[in-house]
Amino acid sequence: MINMILNGLEISVEKGTTLLETANFYGIEIPTLCHDEGLSSYGACRLCLVEVGPPGRSWLVSSCTYPAREGLVVRTHTRRIARARRMLIELYLATCPSSKTIQDLACQFQVTAVRFRQRHDDCILCGLCVRMCDEQMQAKAIGLVDRGADRRVATPFDKKSEQCRLCGGCQYICPACQARCQGPQEENPICNACLNLAPPCLEEYEDAMCYMDPCVACELKGNN
Amino acid sequence: MRNLQAGLKSPADLELMRKRLKEARGRRENYLAVCGDTGCTVWGSNTIKDSLQDCLKRKGFLEKVDIKFTGCLGLCESGPVIIVFPQEIFYQKVKEADIEEIIDKTVLKGEVVERLLYEDPTSGQKYIYASDIPFYKNQVRVLLGNNWINDPNSIEDYIAIDGYKALGRALTEMSPAEVVEEIKISHLRGRGGAGFPTGRKWEECYKASSDHKYIICNADEGDPGAFMDRSLLEGNPHAVLEGLIIGGYAVGASEGIIYIRAEYPTAVDKLSLAINNAEKLGLLGENIMGSGFNFYVSISIGAGAFVCGETSALVSSIEGKVGEPRQKPPHLVERGLWNKPTVVNNVETLANVPYIILNGAGEFCRTGTKESRGTKIFSLVGKVNNTGLVEVPLGITLREIIFEIGGGIKDGGKFKAVQTGGPSGGCLPEMFLDSPVDFEELKAAGSMMGSGGMIVMDEETCMIDVARYFLRFLKDESCGKCFSCREGISRMLEIADSIARGTGSLEELELLKELGSAVKDSSMCGLGQSSANPVLSTIRYFEDEYKDHILENKCPAGVCRELISFDIDSVFCNTCGACIKNCPASAVCEDKEGQPVIIQEACSKCGTCLETCKHGAVLKR
Ligand SMILES: Cc1cc2nc3c(=O)[nH]c(=O)nc-3n(C[C@H](O)[C@H](O)[C@H](O)COP(=O)(O)O)c2cc1C
Ligand code: FES
C-alpha cells in the first residue's frame, strides 16, 4: 500500500493506482475528457489536473497519468487548478463548440464567455478513438498523424483501411464528433446519428454487453 | 603504430602510446590550424586547406609543417579562420590568394601578414596573437580550447592531449560509486536545459537494479541558432565519447546511444569514425583496457523534431515510435529505453566529465558560481560584432559576454534585449546586463539557461515580432498531443499576430498573459511548459511596446509590416528610378512630374526601395 496525503487527508491506496483513480475512489470528482476506464491513460486533454508537491513548490500534473507515490501531497481543488482548467475549457469551447460534452463542462465550471476567435473543429484530438480501435477492438485501423497544429486522426495514407470493421467504436467513444453530438433536436428527440452503428444488443439483448447509454437500438426496439 | 592494431590492454599501454605520440609531436610543433567547422567551410575553408597543402608540397615543406583541419575555432563571423602555430598568429577572412604569402612570410619566416589580422570593430586595434583578441581573451575555453590543437578525425591527437586518461583512471582507480561521488562533488549540472545535477541523476541510475541499463547522449540540439553541441561533436568527438563511456561505467550501463539529428551529417561522420577508432584501440567494446568493463556505443539518427530533445520523446523515438513525450513519473531511471533504467545527458555535460575526472572536482568547482559551476558554451548570435561560439565561466555578466567578448552591438546600434535559452527562453532588457549568468538568475528573470543560445537584439528589433517568431517555431514543433500546448500556442500566436497587425486590444493583451500562464501550468512536457516564456517575458519587460502597437497602431522598431509605410521624399529624390526598377510589387510609379511615388495599396512593405535608394529619399514610418 502507498500512503499519501489527498486534500489534507492521510490515505492509502494500492500500488499502481493513478491519482485520478485514487481521487475517484475517495469520492472526489475530477473532470476528464480523454480518459476512459477501459483504455490506457493518455494525458492529453489536461482537464484532470491536480496539484502535487508541498505548497509553494507545487506543480500541476494530469491525474490520469500520474501514479500514486509514497508521501505525495496532492490537492485536487485549488484556485490554480480552477484557473488553468477554466482557461482550457474556454479554449475547448472556442475550438469545438458543437460537442455536448464540452458544453456540459462549460456549464459545470461556469465558463460563460469565449474570448478567442471562434472555430468549429470537430475533433479535439483526445485520442480516445485511436485507443479504442487499438486496445478494445484490436484493429489499429486509425492513428494520429502529423504533429503540432496539423495533427489529426486518420487512416494510414488517408486510404480506406483494410483493418476497419466498421464497428463504430470510435464514434461511440468520441466526446466531440458531429456524428454523435448533434444532440437531441427539436423535430427528433434522438439525434439518429448513431443509427448506423450496430450495437451488439441488436440481435439479442444482453445487459452486460450493452455499452450504449442511452442505447439507441434498444430504444428503437422498445418503441416498435 | 604497433599499438593501433594490437589494441590497448591496459592504461599503462595507453600511457606508453601517449608518450610516443607526445615525443613525435614535440619534434613537429609547426602547424596550421584551419577551421573545418560548418561556418568556415561555408566560407570556403575546404579549398583553403587544399591550397595550403598544395603550396606546402610545391615548396617542399609538407614534411615539416602539419595542417590540421580542426573543429570550430570560435570566430565564425570572420571565416575562414587560420591559426599559425607555434606562435598562435590569428588570420581571418583568408582567401586563396593569401596562401602563398602566409606560407612564405608567416610559416617560414615568422613574419606577420598585416592585412589578414583581426581588427577590433569598435577600437580599430589590430591583434596578432589569437589569445590577445578580446573575443578569446575573456573566455575560459576548457572544452573548446582543444579545438585549436586537435584534429577531430584523429584519435592520436586526442590521446596526445591526455585523451582517455580520465577513462583509464576511472576504470582502474575508481569504483563506479566513486565516479558518481566525484561528479556529485563537482556540482556539474546538466547543460541541456534543465540544469539537473548530473551526479544525482547518475546516482539514481547507479542504485537502480536491473540486468541492463542505458546511457544516452542527447545530441538533438533543436534550438534555432544554437550549435554548441554540433561544434563539440565536430571539433572533439572523442571528449564526448570518453564522457559517455565514463558515464556508462558510473551508472552500470553496458550500452551507450548517441541520439543525433539527421541535419548534422558531418557530426555523424566524425562520431562514427571516432567510435570506430576507439573500438580498434580497445577503448570501447569488450573488456576496455583490460578492466573487465564492457561498453558498446551506437548512433541513433533522429529526424530533426525539436520535441525529440525531450527525454521521454527521445526514448520513444529511439524505440521506433512516434517522438512524443509522456508524463513523468515514471522517470527514465525507472522506465527508460526498452523499459530499462536509462540516463540521458547532453553533449556538453558529457564533454565536461573527462575534465572533472582528470583534474578533480575541486579544480572544476573553481570556476563558476556557488550553484552553477564550471563553464558554459553559448552561441552568441544576432546583432553583435563577434558572432560565434563562446565558452565562459558561469557567473559572468551578460555585459561581459555581449560587450567584451561579443565586441558590442553591430553598426554602432543600441542594445535592446538579449534572448537566452532558445525558443523556451525569454528576452531580458538592459537592466539585466550586469546580473550574472547562471541557472538561477536567468530563471528568476523570466528566462532560462536552456542549452545556450544567446541572441542579441538592437533597437531595430520588434519584441512582438520576436515573440511571434518563437511562437511560430513552437507551433510547428509541438508534438500536438496535449491540448494546452497545441491549442494554447496557436491561440497565443493568434493574439500576437492580431497585435502586430494593429488590431489588438488591451483586453487581448490581458488574455494573452492569462493564457500564457495557464499553458505554462497545464502542459505536459517542457516544451509546452516553457512555450509562454517568449511572450510573457516580452510583455513583462516591453509592455509599452505592446501598448504602442495596440493604442497607437505604431511599431516603434519599424518591423511589423501592417504598421509601417514607405514614402519618397521629393526633396532628396533625384529621380534615378532605382526604386521603380527594383520594387518587386511594382508599387512605385512616376507621377506627372516624373517624380516616383509609392502606391500604398500595392506596397508589400518589403523595404527594397529603402535598401536600393542611394540618396536617402525613402522614408520608413
Ligand atoms: C522541448 C525540449 C527540447 C529539448 N531539446 C534538447 C536538446 O536538443 N538537447 C539537449 O541536450 N537537451 C534538450 N532538452 C532537455 C532534455 O530534456 C534533458 O533535460 C537533457 O537532455 C538532460 O541532459 P542534461 O542533464 O545533461 O542536461 C529538451 C527539452 C525539451 C522539453
Ligand atoms: S483525462 Fe487526464 S489528461 Fe485527459
Q: Which of B204, B311, B529 maximizes ligand 1 atoms within 8 Å of its Cβ, making it the mutation to test the pocket?
A: B311
Cell of A139: 484493429
Asked if residue A179 has pLDDT above 80, the reply is no
Asked if A91 and A13 sit in the same domain, the reply is yes
Residue A178 located in a structural domain? no
Instruction: Tell me if B522 and A46 make a contact (CB, 8 A cut-off).
Output: yes
Residue A122 located in a structural domain? no
Give the three-class secondary structure for B568: strand
B186 Cβ partners below 8 Å, 6+ apart?
B199, B356, B361, B364, B365, B373, B374
- Tens of pLDDT, residue by residue over B290-329, are 999 999 999 999 998 999 999 999 999 999 999 999 888 8
Mean residue pLDDT across chain B: 90
Selected for mutation to probe chain B from A15, A91, A99 (highest B CB count within 10 Å) is: A91
Instruction: Tell me if B487 and A45 make a contact (CB, 8 A cut-off).
Output: no
Selected for mutation to probe chain A from B307, B310, B326, B327 (highest A CB count within 10 Å) is: B327
Segments forming the whole domain that contains residue A199: 2-117+185-223
- Identify which ligand lies nearest to the alpha carbon of A124: 2
State in Å, rounded, how far the first CA of chain A is from the last one: 53
Chain B residue nearest residue A89, CA to CA: B484
Asked if A7 and A89 sit in the same domain, the reply is yes
Across the A:B interface, residue pairs with CB atoms under 8 Å apart total 100
In this structure, the residues whose C-beta lies within 6 A of any atom of ligand 1 are: B 190-194, 196, 198, 218, 220-222, 306-307, 309-311, 344-346, 349, 451, 525-527
Q: State if residue A61 touches ligand 2 by the CB under 6 angstroms criterion.
A: no
Residue A9 located in a structural domain? yes
Residue nearest to atom 3 of ligand 1 (CA): B309
Residue nearest to atom 3 of ligand 2 (CA): A43
- Tens of pLDDT, residue by residue over B170-182, are 999 999 999 999 9
Asked if A197 and A110 sit in the same domain, the reply is yes
User: Taking a C-beta distance cutoff of 8 angstroms, is the pair B579, B596 a contact?
Assistant: yes
Asked if A140 and A54 sit in the same domain, the reply is no
Instruction: Tell me if B491 and A94 make a contact (CB, 8 A cut-off).
Output: yes
B10 in contact with A at a CB cutoff of 8 Å? no
- Ligand 2 centroid distance, CA of B489 (Å): 19
* pLDDT confidence bin for A192, thresholds 50/70/90: very low
Residue nearest to atom 2 of ligand 1 (CA): B310
Q: State if residue A44 touches ligand 2 by the CB under 6 angstroms criterion.
A: yes
Asked if residue B131 has pLDDT above 90, the reply is no
- Ligand 2 centroid distance, CA of A43 (Å): 4
Bridge partners, residue B57, by sequence = none
- Tens of pLDDT, residue by residue over B273-284, are 999 999 999 999
User: Taking a C-beta distance cutoff of 8 angstroms, is the pair A97, A120 a contact?
Assistant: yes
User: Taking a C-beta distance cutoff of 8 angstroms, is the pair B379, B76 a contact?
Assistant: no
Asked if A6 and A54 sit in the same domain, the reply is yes
What is the spatial distance between Cα B189 and Cα B187, in angstroms, rounded to a whole number?
A: 6
- Identify which ligand lies nearest to the alpha carbon of A35: 2
* pLDDT confidence bin for A209, thresholds 50/70/90: very low
Distance of CA B554 to the CA centre of its chain: 35
pLDDT at B562 (0 to 100):
86
Give the three-class secondary structure for B255: strand
Asked if A94 and A197 sit in the same domain, the reply is yes
Chain A environment of B483 (Cβ under 8 Å): 44-46, 88, 91-92, 124-126
Asked if A96 and A144 sit in the same domain, the reply is no
Asked if residue A187 has pLDDT above 70, the reply is no
Mean residue pLDDT across chain A: 80
Tell me the C-alpha to C-alpha distance, in Å, between residue A144 and each of A4, A85, A127, B74, B482: 36, 25, 8, 43, 13
* pLDDT confidence bin for B225, thresholds 50/70/90: confident
Window from A203-207, B140-144, B522-526 with minimum mean pLDDT: A203-207
Distance of CA A170 to the CA centre of its chain: 12
- Tens of pLDDT, residue by residue over A137-149, are 998 888 998 888 8
Asked if A57 and A160 sit in the same domain, the reply is no
* pLDDT confidence bin for B27, thresholds 50/70/90: low
Asked if residue B215 has pLDDT above 70, the reply is yes
One DSSP character per residue, B422-460 reads: GGGSEEEEGGGTTSB-SHHHHHHTT---TTSEEEEEETT
Give the three-class secondary structure for A171: helix
- Ligand 1 centroid distance, CA of B182 (Å): 23
pLDDT at B232 (0 to 100):
92
Instruction: Tell me if B490 and A80 make a contact (CB, 8 A cut-off).
Output: no
Q: State if residue A103 touches ligand 2 by the CB under 6 angstroms criterion.
A: no
Q: State if residue A140 touches ligand 2 by the CB under 6 angstroms criterion.
A: no
Asked if residue A183 has pLDDT above 80, the reply is no
Asked if residue A61 has pLDDT above 90, the reply is yes
Give per-residue burial for B501-515: e unless 16+ CB within 10 Å, then b. Answer: ebebeeebbebbbeb
pLDDT at A190 (0 to 100):
34
Q: What percentage of chain B exceeds 70 in pLDDT?
A: 99
What is the spatial distance between Cα B380 and Cα B390, in angstroms, rounded to a whole number?
A: 7
B307 in contact with A at a CB cutoff of 8 Å? yes
Backbone phi, psi, residue B448, to 5°: -160, 165
Task: Give the amino acid at A72.
Answer: L
**Which domains, and CATH codes, for chain B?**
28-133 (3.40.30.10), 155-365 (3.40.50.11540), 375-458 (3.10.20.600), 463-551 (1.20.1440.230), 565-620 (3.30.70.20)
Query: CATH number of the domain that A206 lies in?
Result: 3.10.20.740
pLDDT at B76 (0 to 100):
82
What is the spatial distance between Cα B281 and Cα B159, in angstroms, rounded to a whole number?
A: 11
- Peptide bond preceding B329 in cis form (omega within 30 of 0): yes
* pLDDT confidence bin for B565, thresholds 50/70/90: confident
Query: CATH number of the domain that A167 lies in?
Result: 3.30.70.20
Q: State if residue A125 touches ligand 2 by the CB under 6 angstroms criterion.
A: no
Residue A39 located in a structural domain? yes
Residue A20 located in a structural domain? yes
Chain B environment of A94 (Cβ under 8 Å): 491
Asked if residue B432 has pLDDT above 70, the reply is yes
Selected for mutation to probe chain B from A102, A147, A150 (highest B CB count within 10 Å) is: A147
Instruction: Tell me if B478 and A65 make a contact (CB, 8 A cut-off).
Output: no
Q: Which of B478, B483, B511 is facing A115, going by the closest CB pair?
A: B511
Chain A environment of B479 (Cβ under 8 Å): 147-148, 151
Number of domains in chain A: 2
Asked if A17 and A102 sit in the same domain, the reply is yes
Residues, chain B, total? Answer: 621
Chain B environment of A150 (Cβ under 8 Å): 480
Asked if A55 and A94 sit in the same domain, the reply is yes
Instruction: Tell me if A151 and B522 make a contact (CB, 8 A cut-off).
Output: no
What is the spatial distance between Cα A161 and Cα B410, in angstroms, rounded to a whole number?
A: 58
Radius of gyration of the CA atoms of chain B, in A: 27
One DSSP character per residue, B329-362 reads: SSPTTTS-GGGS-EEEEEHHHHHHHHHHHHHHHH
Asked if residue B616 has pLDDT above 90, the reply is no
Asked if A22 and A48 sit in the same domain, the reply is yes
Asked if residue B477 has pLDDT above 80, the reply is yes
Bridge partners, residue B295, by sequence = B285
Q: Which of B327, B488, B511 is facing A61, going by the closest CB pair?
A: B327
pLDDT at A206 (0 to 100):
43
Selected for mutation to probe chain B from A2, A116, A128 (highest B CB count within 10 Å) is: A116
ipTM metric? 0.86
Q: State if residue A131 touches ligand 2 by the CB under 6 angstroms criterion.
A: no
Residue A179 located in a structural domain? no
Q: Which of B184, B218, B228, B246 maximizes ligand 1 atoms within 8 Å of its Cβ, making it the mutation to test the pocket?
A: B218
Asked if A69 and A143 sit in the same domain, the reply is no
Asked if residue A218 has pLDDT above 70, the reply is no
pLDDT at B1 (0 to 100):
43
Residue A84 located in a structural domain? yes
Instruction: Tell me if B479 and A43 make a contact (CB, 8 A cut-off).
Output: no
